[in-house]
Amino acid sequence: RMERGDLSGDEMPSFLTQICDALDAAHGENIVHRDLKPENVWIVTPKRGKPFVKLLDFGIAKLLSTGEKSATQTGMVMGTPHYMSPEQCHGKAVDHRTDIYAMGVMRSQLYSGRMPFQGETFAEILAKQIVDTPEPPSKHAPVPAELDRLIMRCLAKDPAARPQSAKELGQTLGQVLTGVAA
């Protein structure tokens, strides 16, 4: 639906916050998705009721055992390069904040119509994810300043500079999108 431009402005806040709610639930069970991308977000349209979001393909997800702080063995690179966090691209340990980064990529793509990093090869995209600072979505499309700042926070190279939970991201996003709609 994103590629077809088939997402209405009325649906967006609900769908985006539902993704955050689903991630919050997974993270609450110590599960990190690690391959969050539009293809793994399914919009279900029931016969009755409103459409809702489901997260799919937890194929490379990692269950963090109690007390474990990272989800990936150091040196192991897994995921879809355009949506991978810098720490994931580097093969470093990841936690739930890698999914927050992927949410930033998806939001940037959704609001600007383009990926934060372009490249012809897997390695070129990985290198840009690690080193380059993406342009704000507002450079490519009209994006409200508050939303632009939130997307850029999600895309921070340092996980500590990103929203620290999917719940926090969902709440902040809800507030920003409510302000945008008004």
Active site residues: 35
d(CA 128, CA 25): 30
128 contacts: CB under 8 Å, gap ≥ 6: 117, 118, 119
d(CA 45, CA 70): 35
The CA distance from 138 to 149, in Å, is: 10
Q: How far apart are the first and last CA of the chain?
A: 25
CA distance 63 to 97: 14
Cα–Cα nearest to 91, from 58, 64, 119, 129: 129
